[in-house]
Amino acid sequence: MFKNKKIKKLSVILIVLSTILFSLTMFRSGLKYQFGLGFWGPNGHDAIWHLSLINQLKQQIPPQNPIYSGSILQNYHWGFDFLVAIISKITTIDSGFLYFQILPIIFSLLIGFLSFKLAFLITKNNITSIFFVLLNYFSGSFGWIYTLIKNHQIGGESLFWSMQSVSTLLNPPFALSLIVILLGLILWLKHHNSNSIKIAILIGMIFALLSGIKVYAGILIGLALSCYWLYNAIRSKKIFGFNFIICLVMGLISLLILFGLGVLKGGQLLEFKPFWFTHSMIESLDKFYLPKLASFRFNQTNILISAILEIGLVFIFLIGNLGTRFLGFFTIFSKTVKKEINDFDKLIIFIFIFSFLTPLLFIQKGTAWNTIQFFYYFLFFANFYFAQFLSKLWSKHKTLVSILLLISCLTSFSTLKDYFGNPPPSSLPNSEIEALNFLKNQNDGFVLTYPYDKYEKDKMTTPIPLYAYETTAYVSAFSGKQTFLEDEMNLDITGFNWQQRRAEEEKFFSSTDQFFARGFLVNNSIDYIYLVSDQKFSLSTFDLQINEIFNNSQVRIYKVQR
């Protein structure tokens, strides 16, 4: 009894300490520094998009598309952003502070405690539960081997395409989906042998939330639960029961959520393109770049050799991403041989199948690499079986287990190091904070920004201002207004035909045709023009019938006359 209390106390301390490290990928971003607001890693793009969407959700549901004025957002799951918007409205806490500083800590603690609870519920083993928690925080890929050989450095977290555990909080909808999945699975494990209709409905409702939070998780859990139900129904010849109700409730509510979010309005989102990830893995300079092998594969005409190559690349993709977690599959093999596969294992095997095959066979229209997010869940549950593998070794081979844990976490330590650096890669300068705060206090209206120039950042040193760093939604995010065209990357993901707008926008800024330019502003209901540094238009303010309402030498804002 005393030993168990000691282990549980240790697990709490471990979760709290790990949470501090785990949250560092987020915590420093969005804070005010001497130069302005700083942003580390993908927070310079992804977080800005979420903040812009949160602003729109504070105003109306469904939200307007913050980066494509005059349109409703579609083909996007905004459940997480809705949660932040609600909390911000109720508590009056700034959305950015919630996003970067408060929710990462809460999410991290919940992932840790729920991971421990789930693992202990299944195994009744504290050591396995502790290992599962640690791996969910810090397990990584074998990318460090490649970078160590090539650059004499430890790195390469996503060298084989997939994000790893340490970066979970950088994708807050993914982090929230893990919490929902863990909570749902804990309830399912406790009651899956019962006939409680109320509990089945509750679990179905919980899992249905995934469709609004992270649609990839909703599809994955829905398919896995359906296959598990079908498998059991065939074996037991009982069609209607606990799992059937879960699937039915989840399916019906998920459809309502998806229709409500407009996810189903844009037509087919997935495109059948087998082995896109394995091919691009060896063709991309920032991945597991093997140009000779890529060329050999491309020019290969022998079907047998081509088949061997494809299988080999799939193996590299799988083992490379798994890292030491591949040892966990010995646990599954052992349980299969000993006929110890339980109901939880059966469900997870279905999750493994769908989370692996989907990115292997499909890409997402608009942004091909987005389907890799199915694979994130494969890695998450692979942690559980690796934790069981380590637990069995622990009593006699503590040194070996320690080494395996260290190797598993190497890429994570390298990733965390990047978030301790100064200055940050991107920033919102003080001059733009002042300008955007001014714009925020103006009447609602559409804002025209200068077309993003991807070559602009080559002239700058860090921290690079957001307007040059990447195509982002920063004007919308920090002014609370819809922009005519921003963040072309997310417009691709959500299936908007933004290229025509881009061409019209470019023409406006270069045109000397007064009638076209004025017509462009009026026809697109533009209310404000936001320009930074040396950005300018070709015509005079008189010709365009606009008034300068703000100028701090770095930023100029114009109001369009009506």
Q: What is the DSSP string of 371-407?
A: GGHHHHHHHHHHHHHHHHHHHHHHTT-HHHHHHHHHH
Nearest to 113 by CA among 13, 25, 28: 13
Query: Does the pLDDT value for residue 241 go beyond 90?
Result: no
Query: Does the pLDDT value for residue 268 go beyond 60?
Result: no
**What pLDDT does 264 receive?**
57
Lowest mean pLDDT among 134-143, 270-279, 358-367: 358-367
**What pLDDT does 61 receive?**
87
Query: Does the pLDDT value for residue 4 go beyond 70?
Result: no
**pLDDT tens digits, 26-44:** 999 999 999 999 999 999 9
| Predicted TM-score (pTM) of this structure | 0.93
Average pLDDT over residues 118-143: 95
| Tokens representing residue 114 in the block | 């729920």
**What pLDDT does 2 receive?**
44
Nearest to 288 by CA among 277, 300, 298: 277
| Cβ neighbours for 555, distance < 8 A, ≥ 6 positions apart | 431, 432, 434, 435, 530, 531, 532
Q: Which residues pair with 271 in a beta bridge?
A: 363
Strands 555-560 and 546-551 turn out to be antiparallel
Top CATH class, 426-560? alpha beta
Average pLDDT over residues 206-214: 94
Residue given tokens 């019938």 in the structure block: 545
DSSP 515-549: HHHHHHHHHTTEEEEEEETT---SS-HHHHTEEEE
263, 74 Cβ separation under 8 angstroms: yes
In degrees and rounded to multiples of 5, residue 385 shows phi and psi of -75, -30
Average pLDDT over residues 324-332: 95
What is the separation, in whole angstroms, between the first and last Cα of the chain? 77
Alpha-helical (H) ranges within 343-372 are: 343-361
**What pLDDT does 433 receive?**
97
Q: What is the CA radius of gyration of the chain?
A: 25
Cα–Cα distances (Å) from 1 to 12, 129, 140, 391, 434, in that order, read 17, 17, 34, 20, 60
Average per-residue pLDDT for the chain: 92
Nearest to 157 by CA among 415, 407, 371, 359: 415
Distance between CA atoms of 289 and 294, rounded to whole angstroms? 8
Distance between CA atoms of 73 and 262, rounded to whole angstroms? 7
What stretch(es) of the chain map to CATH 3.40.50? Answer: 426-560
Average pLDDT over residues 370-385: 96
**What pLDDT does 267 receive?**
53
Q: Which residues pair with 448 in a beta bridge?
A: 529
**What pLDDT does 1 receive?**
43
Distance between CA atoms of 19 and 14, rounded to whole angstroms? 8
11, 17 Cβ separation under 8 angstroms: no
Helix (H, G, I), strand (E, B) or coil at 247: helix
Distance between CA atoms of 513 and 519, rounded to whole angstroms? 10
Amino acid letter for position 457: K
Helix (H, G, I), strand (E, B) or coil at 227: helix
**pLDDT tens digits, 450-502:** 999 999 888 898 899 999 999 999 999 999 999 999 999 999 888 888 999 99
**pLDDT tens digits, 135-175:** 999 999 999 999 999 988 999 999 999 999 999 999 999 99
| Tokens representing residue 329 in the block | 């599959």
Cα–Cα distances (Å) from 208 to 211, 253, 325, in that order, read 6, 6, 29
Strands 546-551 and 426-429 turn out to be unpaired
Q: Which residues pair with 272 in a beta bridge?
A: 362
Query: Does the pLDDT value for residue 409 go beyond 50?
Result: yes
Helix (H, G, I), strand (E, B) or coil at 464: strand
Distance between CA atoms of 134 and 138, rounded to whole angstroms? 6
Helix (H, G, I), strand (E, B) or coil at 36: strand
424, 29 Cβ separation under 8 angstroms: yes
Say what percent of the chain tops pLDDT 90. 80
Distance between CA atoms of 428 and 222, rounded to whole angstroms? 41
